[in-house]
Structure 1
Amino acid sequence: MKLFVFSIVCSFLQISRQNPPTQWTLLPHILVVEVDGSKSQLPLSCLQPEELPRRGNESLDIFWMKDKEAGAQRGNTYQVRLQESLGGGSYTCYSRNGSLLNHTEVLIQEKGAVRRKILVKTDQGTVSFCSAQNLNGEFRCSWTWDRLRVGVVAFIRAQRASDDTQCSVDSGGKHWSCSSHHSKFRCSVDDSGNGITCVDELHCPYAEEIQQIHITVYVKTKHFLVENYSKHFYLSEIVKPDKVHINKVNTTMIEWSYPSSWSIPFSYFPLTFQIALFKRDCEMCVNPCTDSKATKTLMVHSTDICRLEVKHKSKAVCVRAKDALCDSQWSEWSHLRNKRNKENKENKHRPNKKRA
Structure 2
Amino acid sequence: MKLLYFSIISVFLQVSCQNPRSHWTLPPNILVVEVDGSVGQQTLSCLGSPEEVTRRANKSQDIIWKKNGVEEPQRGNSYLVHLEESLGGGEYTCHSKDGSLLDRTVVLIQEGETMKRKILVKNDQEEYLKCSAQNYNGEFHCSWTWHSSRIGKVAFIKAQRVSDDSDIQCSVDTSGLRWTCSSGQSNFRCSVNKSGYSISCLDEQYCPYAEESRKIEIIVYVRTEHFLIESYTKQFFLSEIVKPDKVTISKVNTTMIKWSYPSSWSSPYSYFPLTFQIAQLKRRCKKCGNLCPDSKATKILTVHSTDICQFEVKHKAKVVCIRAKDALCDSQWSEWSQFRLRRRKNNKNRHQ
TM-score of the two chains, using structure 1 as the length reference: 0.87
Q: CA deviation at 1:197?
A: 0.4
Residue matched to 1:34 = 34
Answer yes or no: is 1:129 the counterpart of 2:130.
yes
Match for residue 101 of structure 2? 100
What is the one-letter code of the residue matched to 2:65? Answer: W
Alignment of 1:92-241 (within 5 A): 92-113=93-114, 121=122, 127-162=128-163, 163=165, 164-241=167-244
Specify whether residues 56 and 108 from structure 1 end up closer, same or farther in structure 2 by C-alpha distance, changes over 3 A only.
closer
1:88-111 deviations in whole A, cap 9, x for unaligned?
000001101111101111000112
Percent identity for Structure 1 against Structure 2: 66
| Higher helix proportion (structure 1 or 2) | 1
Q: Paired residue for 1:266?
A: 269
Which digits, 9 at most, give the CA deviation of each residue in 1:251-270, with x for residues without a partner? Answer: 11100000000011000000
For the 8 Å contact 2:119–2:224, the answer to whether it is kept is no
Change (3 A) 1:134 1:48: same
> Highest Rg: 1 or 2?
1
| Pairwise CA distance, 1:48 | 1.6
1:112 offset after TM fit, Å?
A: 3.1
Question: Is residue 2:287 matched to residue 1:284?
Answer: yes
Q: Which runs of 5+ in 1 are unaligned?
A: 1-15, 352-356
The number of residue pairs the alignment matches comes to: 331
SS at match of 1:344: coil
1:80 is aligned to 2:72: no
Q: 1:55 to 1:232 in 2, by over 3 A?
A: closer
Instruction: Tell me the TM-score normalised to structure 2 length.
Output: 0.88
Q: Which residue of 2 aligns with 1:329?
A: 332
**Equivalence map 1:46-85=2 (5 Å):** 46-49=46-49, 50-52=51-53, 54=55, 57-85=58-86
Give the conservation status (yes or no) of the 8 Å contact 2:119–2:152.
no
- Aligned-pair CA distance for 1:150: 1.7
State which drifts further: 283-292 or 237-246.
283-292
**Aligned partners of 1:314, 1:56: CA distance in 2, in Å?**
87
Q: Give, in angstroms, the shift of residue 221 of structure 1.
A: 0.7
1:117, distance to aligned residue in structure 2 (A): 12
Q: Given the superposition, is the C-alpha separation of residues 233 and 260 from structure 1 closer, same or farther in structure 2, using an over 3 Å criterion? A: same
How far apart are residue 17 of structure 1 and its match? Answer: 7.5
Q: What letter corresponds to residue 37 of structure 1 in structure 2?
A: G
For residue 240 of structure 2, give the secondary structure of its aligned residue in structure 1: helix
Consecutive unaligned residues in structure 2, runs of 5 or more: 1-15
Structure 2 contact 120–146 (Cα < 8 Å) conserved: no
The C-alpha deviation readout for 1:236-281, integer Å capped at 9, x for no partner, is 1101100000010111110000000001100000000000112222
In the alignment, is the contact (CA less than 8 A) between 1:118 and 1:127 conserved in 2? Answer: no
Deviations 1:65-108 (A, max 9, x none): 00111101000110111111111000001101111101111000
Tell me the secondary structure at the aligned position of residue 96 of structure 1. coil
Per the TM alignment, residue 316 of structure 1 is displaced from its structure 2 partner at its CA by 1.2
C-alpha RMSD of the superposition: 2.3
Question: 2-side partners of 1:119 and 1:192: how far apart?
Answer: 15
